[in-house]
Amino acid sequence: MKLIVGLGNPTREYQATRHNIGFDAITRMCDDYRIRLDSKEHKAICGKGYIGGEKVILAQPQTYMNLSGESVRELADYYKLTNEDVIVICDDINLDVGQLRVRRKGSAGGHNGIKNIIAQLGTEEFIRIRVGVGAKPEKWDLADYVLGRFPKEEEPVIREALEKVSRACECIITDGIDAAMNLYNRK
């Protein structure tokens, strides 16, 4: 079983913002694999189904970004999952809009959601898929930028990136993390 967690903030005001790209990825995967987000458990909205023949739990933590690790830890503990069974999807301002970076482990890289997951799991060793949302413009406040919406001209790029995230998760499940990194860590 795999736990696939998309990071974001739970209230309506944050929908479709750069910081909620993880939530958007989970929504896309629900559509692609006919999984319904129909239960609330362990501080997350969850859906259960299959991707690539493997049972998965798709989750959108409802704790707000900075406490995402609470939900991830509770879900991993309850379902007796190892850190290798956890895949986290989040935004990254250090990547071009729509660019993916798949990693088997790593630092938080300044992302507070990832930082909290590392603290809660006690390790940096879990798979993450970072989705580029572009660099913060000069003189902009970082919070204002990541909590802003994509301009219309970037929406097609983001839709394509969400499709790639969905396929990357299936690739991780069926072919392994190395295959996914080789396929999706390209500009």
Closest by CA to 64, choosing from 95, 30, 23, is 23
Return the CATH class of domain 2-184: alpha beta
- Supply the mean pLDDT for the chain: 95
Which is catalytic among the residues 19, 42, 101, 103? 19
Q: According to the model, what pLDDT value does residue 143 have?
A: 87
Helix, strand, or coil (residue 90): strand
Query: Within a 10 A sphere around the Cβ of 29, how many other Cβ atoms?
Result: 25
The answer to whether the CB of 4 falls within 8 A of the CB of 89 is: yes
Concerning whether 111 is annotated as a catalytic residue, the answer is no
Helices and strands (H and E) in the chain: how many:
6, 7
Beta bridge partners of 71: none
Q: Are strands 44-51 and 39-41 parallel, antiparallel or unpaired?
A: antiparallel
Tell me the whole-structure pTM to 2 decimals: 0.95
Q: Is the pLDDT of residue 42 over 90?
A: yes
- Side-chain half-sphere of 134: how many Cα atoms within 13 Å? 18
Span 79-90, average pLDDT: 96
Chain centroid offset of residue 111 CA: 12
